Amino acid sequence: MTTVLLTALEASGDALGAGLMRALKQRLGPDVRFIGVGGAEMRAEGLASAFDIAELSVVGLLDGLFAYRRADRRARQVADLAAREGADISVLIDSWGFSYLLARRLRAALPRPPLVKYVAPQVWASRPGRARALARTFDLLLSIIAFEAPLFEAAGAKVAFVGHPAMADDVVQGDGARFRARIGAAAGEQILLVLPGSRASEVNRLMPTFEEAVSRLKSGRPSLHVVVAPAATVAEQVTARVAGWPFRAHLVQDAEERRDAMVAADVALACSGTVTTELAVAGCPMVVAYRLGPLSYQIARRIVRTRFITLINIAADAAVAPELIQGECTGERLAAQLARRLDDPGLRHAQSTAQTAALEDLGGRGPPPAERAAEAIAGMLSRRS
């Protein structure tokens, strides 16, 4: 029996973990079992999560500092679990702070089994010293972005590029016509897709502003269909908020329907994150928003080295999708940017085309990342046996 420890604290990491579990089951057969931490998708694949990932789903340096003791206690708990269950390999997904804490505890508890980091810390954006820390701590990095691999290799890390999940050959393209029919959108009626983030703190900071922006648009466009697609980690929170809106909004939670909505939408209002890459793959022009706590933002301004925060903008080194951050993230400004795109089909087409071009710099399409990741992990296990 092969025991694999997996950890993921974010909705996107949970999806990666679930895909990896399926791929490892196919490759290793029934003699593989999983322990660790994950969300709803990983639990659906058979993982009994050691704790609720919402407990450590934080963003910003200040929030991270406040959560440090809790994170360290949970890292000790997971390391004890790995030692007790005899983990043969550990794959730590997303959440660099928690992953680093846990990796150090795993090294002490289980010195021999390999440690794998799935999704790299964004050293090209801030804190480049993390590349050296990763090289010292982990035996392998599974990278999802092509341009970051050389940065880690230069620091001494072993890297396997597996590709971005949003651009895998097996990604099912959504059916926009099916979604329009489902919500009753007649020909010529436009759709605005709202994606408010995957963390409770993001929803708390952004949803009032998103609501103001959407209200401004609806006041002059009564036929505009508003669709809200919350991440599973905040679905209950977002649903409760939307229930109080003074206008109708269609709620989407099913993964297939979410893909359909991305293809059907004329424009999206999105919290910065993995979802922006998914929107680019779907061909949906977007306006990106983000807001941190005041102190966290001041700290971030001093350490972030990139001009942009959205991955496609970073890859293109241009403002392909407009970013409204912190003080610029107001209902009035968001509504203005969205209105420009709703009113100008040429602008929508140009942005969609530029987003697609930027995706090529992230590695383009290729075999499913889960299969490539499973192959690399299986190789490490076979070398140990």
CATH number of residue 287's parent domain: 3.40.50.2000
Q: Kindly report, residue by residue over 71-91, the tens digit of the pLDDT.
A: 899 999 999 999 999 999 999
Q: When comparing pLDDT for 62 and 284, which is higher?
A: 284
Residue 170: per-residue pLDDT: 59
- Contact (Cβ atoms closer than 8 angstroms) between residue 139 and residue 112: no
Same domain, yes or no: 377 and 348: no
Indicate if the pLDDT at residue 58 is higher than 70: no
Q: For 125-129, what is the mean pLDDT?
A: 73
% of the chain at pLDDT higher than 70: 93
Same domain, yes or no: 104 and 129: yes
What is the count of structural domains for the chain?
2
197 by Cβ neighbours in 10 Å (0-12 / 13-18 / 19+) ranks as buried
Residue 221 lies in a domain: yes
Q: Kindly report, residue by residue over 29-43, the tens digit of the pLDDT.
A: 988 999 999 999 999
Same domain, yes or no: 67 and 200: no
Indicate if the pLDDT at residue 124 is higher than 70: no
Nearest by Cα to 176 from 101, 82, 54, 260: 260
Same domain, yes or no: 232 and 141: no
Phi and psi at residue 221, to the nearest 5°? -135, 70
Structural domain span for residue 15: 2-163+366-384
Q: Kindly report, residue by residue over 220-242, the tens digit of the pLDDT.
A: 999 999 999 998 889 999 999 99
H helices of 30-116, in order, are 40-44, 61-66, 68-85, 96-109
Q: Kindly report, residue by residue over 140-197, the tens digit of the pLDDT.
A: 999 998 888 888 999 999 999 999 888 875 566 899 999 999 999 999 999 999 999 9
Same domain, yes or no: 247 and 123: no
Residue 75 lies in a domain: yes
Same domain, yes or no: 101 and 211: no
Strand partners, 269: 194, 287
Kindly list the distances between the CA atom of residue 184 and the CA atoms of 161, 175, 278, 282, 351, in Å, as whole numbers in the listed order: 42, 15, 24, 21, 27
Same domain, yes or no: 32 and 146: yes
Same domain, yes or no: 204 and 159: no
Residue 62: per-residue pLDDT: 45
Same domain, yes or no: 349 and 237: yes
Residue 169 lies in a domain: no
Residue 29 lies in a domain: yes
Residue 169: per-residue pLDDT: 59
Same domain, yes or no: 353 and 378: no
Indicate if the pLDDT at residue 284 is higher than 70: yes
Residue 230 lies in a domain: yes
